[in-house]
Structure 1
Amino acid sequence: MRRLLAALAATLVVVAGAAVVVPAHATTTRVTASAYVQTSVVIGTSARGRPIRAYYRGEEGAPYVLLVLGQMHGDEKDGIATARWIRDHAHPRPGTGVWVVPTLNPDGNARGTRTNGRGVDLNRNWPTSGWSGAGRGSRYWGGPRPGSEPETKAMIAFLTQVRPDRIASIHQPLRAIGRGGHGKWEKRLARFLHLPRRHLGVGNPSGTDSPTLTAWYDTTLGEHGAATTIEYGARTSHRYRTKVAGRGILRAARIH
């Protein structure tokens, strides 16, 4: 984001092999005379043509940025409420900012399905050493090729530009904070979200990297930050998925 907002008027995001001009989809509001801004961009479109939106709140050019992804699987709804609460209520402290993507899977969200509009599990589609195309037709199919889906491509392009310092990717229903080698960040998430820490695997072969967003980021752009999976329980209260989780993620990232 700190690289994106600094040149927002001229920035291109490459999505599915095409250049999409961000300003055509962006609105920026300066909240005060300072460099605090609120921004909305369309980072790409889904397999069925639905927009994938990202929202920013915080200092323009902030040296420390959090990204919150509310949903990747369309039948895991509660993280969207968290993302929207953060979008609407976060007040990042000076020197920080937060990007919010309520859903990466608007097709699955509309249909209530885990997979995207082409039947691909987006959290098995990331181009890592552990990607597999086995299981076509199942709800865990990783797609015809690694990184094949427009949603994955859009997020890869966006993350490559934004390079957040912390990523919180919200899922359900395993009720845990994923252990991924980011001890202090993970422990803060566990404490503020009242969740245990444990390994969250996807069944990829031993010695390979999971074909997930968090594993891809850690292995590809990990020098820029840490990506962690948050798993809510199957059911959460309205208060938990809004104020408790929203504030907890911001506090864990030291944004709020």
Structure 2
Amino acid sequence: MTDQTKPDWKPLVPILRQVIFANRIYLTEHEQQVLTFIFQRTRMFGKAWEAIPLRHFIGGIWSRDAGNTCSRLRMKANNVIAAYKGLQAKDLIEIRDHPTEASQYRTVEPSEVARHDIIGFINRNQPKLMASILVELRRNKGRLPPAFSKLLEVLPKGHDLHRPKHKTGSGIRPDSLSVSLGTDLSLSRGMQPTNKQIGRLKRRNSNIAPAGAKLTFPTTTKERSKFRIIPLTTAAAQFRKEQSLHLALLEASS
């Protein structure tokens, strides 16, 4: 093989080191596998973008001449979809969706990685992964750079980062109940909702009572289990914590 026919691997090394390997701590196992698969189907073949059907992820790619060109991922289709959506949210890959054809994928360049955004996404959406990261940071506390030491101080210590644990024996605080599943509306006992709040509930909940009906709180344990706990005092504290976290992330990633 002459030098002209040899593939040029040098451009791939920064992507491997700074995009894939350097960010493994911020990825789930499924996300790591999907990111490597996309890298193999794109950059390893000298392509920035490549159309990859879902069947290639879960079934692999075979050819009569080359055999197993790309090995399949041993995971369910739903896990593959969740993984590449997580990678997209962390800006480690780009996806071009198409209504009738396979979506196209691209592994980003090192200069496009924003680590503080990645950690911020994990903190908001992947509490189990954040908990494992915190365990690793604490385990290596004596060897962390100053920026990451500050990050460790700012990050919450509990594994359930965004679910306050203010509960009574029955599991619900009666003075802090959310009126509808998935909403951010919190009411205190004896407090009547405003028209704006009722309108918001009507748009989000098809089971809302007719206009003029009074809003009542659940009384039985079964009814209470359908409501999400959002203490009124938590919102301001959480906002301040998010601000401090964002500043620490910016410093740690600089």
TM-score by shorter chain over 0.5: no
Higher relative contact order (CA 8 A, sep 6+): 1
Which has more strand, going by share of residues?
1
Q: TM-score, normalised by structure 2?
A: 0.26
Q: Which has the larger radius of gyration?
A: 2
Q: TM-score, normalised by structure 1?
A: 0.26
